Structure 1
Amino acid sequence: MLDAWYATAMLAMESQKVIELRLFKLAWGGVAGQIEAQRMVSEKIGAALEATGTLLGGGTPEAVIDRYREHVRNNVERLSGPVQPSGH
C-alpha cells in the first residue's frame, strides 16, 4: 500500500515538470505550440485508453501508475530539448 502511495506521489511531482515545459512551449506559440497542444490531447486520450485496457485486462492500478510515469519521463526528455523558434 505504501508503495502505491509513493508511486502516486512521485507521479504527481514528476508531472509538474511536464506541465512547466508544455506551458512554456504553448506560450512560445506558433506551429510548435499548436503541434504540442494537439499532441498533448492525443497523448492524454491514448494514455486513458491504455490505462482502461490494463485495468480491464486484470492489471493493477500500480501498473497503470508505473506506465504513466514512463509517459511522463518520455515527455520530460522530449520537451527538454532545444527550443525551436516559431517564426513570430
Structure 2
Amino acid sequence: MLFGWWKTSLDMAMLGLEAQGVIAQRMAMFAVGGPAAQIEAQRMVTEKIMAASEAALMVASGASNSKVIRSYRRKVQANAKRLSER
C-alpha cells in the first residue's frame, strides 16, 4: 500500500487533536470539582491502564501500528462524546 503511511500519519494527527479536546473537557470538569470530577478522575486512570494493556496485547499479537492507533482513536472519540453530553 503506497499511501498507508499517509493514512497512519493522518490518524496519529487526528488522535492528538481529539485527545487534546478530551483533556480540555476533563480539565474544565476538574476545575469545577465535586463528585463528578472525582468519578471522572478515577475513570480516566482506569481507562488509561486498560487502553495501554490492550495496546500491548495488540502489539504482542502482531497488530499493525495503524490498528493500534485506530483502537485508541475509538476510545478517545467515545470519551469526547460522553463528556460533551454533560
Query: Is the TM value for this pair above 0.5?
Result: yes
1:19 partner SS:
helix
- Give the corresponding residue for 2:75: 71
Within a 5 Å distance, the mapping from 1:50-69 to structure 2 comes to 50-69=54-73
Task: Pick the aligned partner of 1:16 from 7, 20, 28.
Answer: 20
Give unpaired runs (5+ residues) of structure 1: 83-88
1:63 partner SS:
helix
Give unpaired runs (5+ residues) of structure 2: none
Q: CA deviation at 1:2?
A: 1.4
RMSD: 0.8
Q: What count of residue pairs does the alignment treat as equivalent?
A: 82
Task: Pick the aligned partner of 2:41 from 37, 54, 58.
Answer: 37
Structure 1 or 2: more helix by fraction = 2
Letter matched to residue 29 of structure 1: G
Letter matched to residue 71 of structure 2: R
The percentage of counterpart residues that share the same residue type is 45
Which one scores higher on RCO, CA 8 angstroms, separation ≥ 6? 2
TM-score, with structure 2 as normaliser: 0.91
Q: CA deviation at 1:37?
A: 0.6
